[in-house]
Amino acid sequence: MEVSQFWKIWAIPFCKWSLRSWCPVINISKWGEKKEKDCKSTVKRKINNFTTADFLWKLSHETWEQIFRGNDVNTIFNNFLNIFLRIYNSSFPLTLAKNKMTQNSWIITWIIASCKNKRELYNELQNNKKATFASYYGDYTKILSRVIRMAKRMEYDKLILNSCNKAKTTWDIIHKE
């Protein structure tokens, strides 16, 4: 595993006892190793009819006094943005969503159309016993099989290349096939 060094400054708010009282302090630290990304889940906002109704209800019950009292445009905008983001973040919470491998993600519309065409050619081959038509159907089937194999390979190579755990992804692909 390759771990490259880089510096990242992050802040942790905590309370520290000073001579007079408790006060918030921000601790700035160095972080020396690269953190591996979490590929098993992604962070998404929960947005549905209930959360949207909650958002609209909270917006309608906000007093907005801080915005109408201000004289400076920047202060008014910052107050509005703070209120809006507070309501937005409380109404639409962040949730973890697990990433799933989609079933047969390599199938695209023209492959489906080609398979339908191959089926029609097969039905016509049952009625038409000419050797030239049989060789045409055989060539069409070979080309379609090669195209499907290449589409699968390209999709699976992309999945393996973009995954965090390449061995698990490879075994998931093997078990899927």
- Residue 91, judged by CB atoms within 10 A of its CB (0-12, 13-18, 19+), counts as buried
Q: What is the number of other CB atoms lying within 10 angstroms of the CB of residue 43?
A: 9
Tell me, yes or no, whether 94 and 140 share the same domain: no
Question: pLDDT value at position 21?
Answer: 42
> Of 108 and 140, which is predicted with more confidence?
140
Domain that holds residue 164: 109-176
Whether 120 is covered by a domain: the verdict is: yes
Whether 18 is covered by a domain: the verdict is: no
User: Above 80 in pLDDT, residue 153?
Assistant: yes
Per-residue pLDDT tens digits for 57-100: 999 999 888 888 888 899 899 999 999 999 999 999 998 877 66
Whether 142 is covered by a domain: the verdict is: yes
Place of tokens 């880089």: 6
Whether 17 is covered by a domain: the verdict is: no
pTM: 0.44
Whether 92 is covered by a domain: the verdict is: yes
Q: Per the structure, how many domains does the chain have?
A: 2
Residue 94 β-bridge partners: 45
Residues counted in the chain: 177
Residue 22 β-bridge partners: 17
Whether 150 is covered by a domain: the verdict is: yes
> Of 26 and 132, which is predicted with more confidence?
132
